């Protein structure tokens, strides 16, 4: 299932195919990406130096950087893709550059960083669970029908991941201090007030 997913809106574009060669994948990507770029708001004009700086800013920190065009067109969109050789062919990368699209590749063995992987699992489960389809055409039909159903009430995705989970656990281990936003890593031993000491003494004498 060829998939393009927009996390902020939850919109899903997908097509079931019987093979996923570069010819099939790239043809579909170009068709869909052209439609998407056409719907984007018109960007304010920037000079060539500002445009180049914006493209380069998205390569900061990357171990492997794609050689950008000397005079890039204005950047319109970011496209997160798996780190597959077929996604890096010069013809495809140059086509993306010419349409203002910056490809960003997930690390090797890091497909979980691509939200398209998550939406594919959801669609597959909804479409095929507890069913027994006998032909490829039947599978494609039910998958694409499920995608249309998803887009009627799309759900936006927010990034979480393992690091976010670790930060949540770290925050849970902190102890908030009353009256401020400060916290401590371990609970503060509370000293009983004079009233609490007197009440405890009264309980012991009865």
Could you report the per-residue pLDDT of 44-78, keeping only the tens digit for each?
777 888 888 888 888 888 877 888 888 888 899 99
- In this prediction, the residues of the chain whose per-residue pLDDT falls under 70 are 112, 161-163, 175-182, 185-194, 204-206
- Say what the pLDDT of residue 33 is: 95
- Say what the pLDDT of residue 195 is: 72
Q: What is the DSSP string of 146-175?
A: HHHHHHHS-------HHHHHHHHHHHHTSE
The length of the chain in residues reads: 206
Residue 39: inside a domain, yes or no?
Answer: yes
**Domain range enclosing 138:** 2-152
Residue 136: inside a domain, yes or no?
Answer: yes
Residue 180: inside a domain, yes or no?
Answer: no
Compute the C-alpha angle 131/137/141, nearest 5°. 65
- Say what the pLDDT of residue 50 is: 84
Query: Rounded to an integer, what distance in angstroms lies between the CA atom of residue 122 and that of residue 14?
Result: 13
Residue 76: inside a domain, yes or no?
Answer: yes
- Say what the pLDDT of residue 85 is: 85
Residue 23: inside a domain, yes or no?
Answer: yes
DSSP three-state, residue 9: coil
Average pLDDT, the chain: 83
Residue 203: inside a domain, yes or no?
Answer: no
Structure tokens at 85: 């050789």
Looking at the structure of the chain, the number of domains it has is 1
Residue 43 and residue 33 in contact, taking contact as beta carbons nearer than 8 Å: no
Q: Which residues pair with 93 in a beta bridge?
A: none
- Say what the pLDDT of residue 179 is: 56
Query: Rounded to an integer, what distance in angstroms lies between the CA atom of residue 16 and that of residue 88?
Result: 22
Residue 114: inside a domain, yes or no?
Answer: yes
DSSP three-state, residue 77: strand
CATH of the domain at 133: 3.30.420.10
Compute the C-alpha angle 95/42/104, nearest 5°. 40
End-to-end CA distance of the chain: 76
Could you read off the pLDDT of 140-155 as tens digits, one per residue? Answer: 999 999 999 999 988 8
Residue 74: inside a domain, yes or no?
Answer: yes
- Say what the pLDDT of residue 92 is: 93
- Say what the pLDDT of residue 79 is: 93
DSSP three-state, residue 15: strand
Q: Which residues of 91-111 are buried (b: 16+ CB within 10 A; e: fewer)?
A: ebbebbbebbbbbebbeeeee
């Amino acid at each position: 299932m060829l998939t393009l997913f927009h996390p902020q809106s939850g919109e899903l574009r997908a097509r079931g195919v019987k093979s996923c060669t570069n010819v099939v994948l790239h043809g579909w990507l170009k068709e869909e990406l052209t439609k998407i770029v056409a719907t984007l708001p018109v960007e304010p004009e920037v000079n060539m130096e500002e445009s180049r700086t914006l493209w380069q800013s998205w390569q900061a920190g990357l171990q492997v950087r794609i050689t950008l065009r000397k005079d890039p067109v204005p950047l319109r969109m970011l496209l997160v893709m798996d780190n597959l050789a077929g996604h890096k062919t010069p013809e495809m990368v140059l086509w993306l550059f010419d349409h203002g699209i910056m490809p960003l590749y997930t690390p090797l063995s890091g497909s979980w960083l691509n939200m398209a992987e998550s939406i594919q699992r959801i669609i597959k489960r909804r479409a095929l669970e507890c069913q027994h389809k006998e032909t490829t055409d039947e599978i494609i039909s039910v998958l694409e029908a499920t995608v249309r159903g998803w887009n009627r009430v799309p759900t936006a995705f927010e990034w979480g991941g393992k690091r976010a989970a670790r930060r949540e656990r770290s925050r849970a281990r902190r102890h908030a201090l009353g009256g401020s936003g400060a916290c401590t890593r371990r609970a503060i031993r509370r000293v009983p007030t004079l009233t609490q000491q007197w009440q405890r003494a009264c309980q012991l004498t009865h």
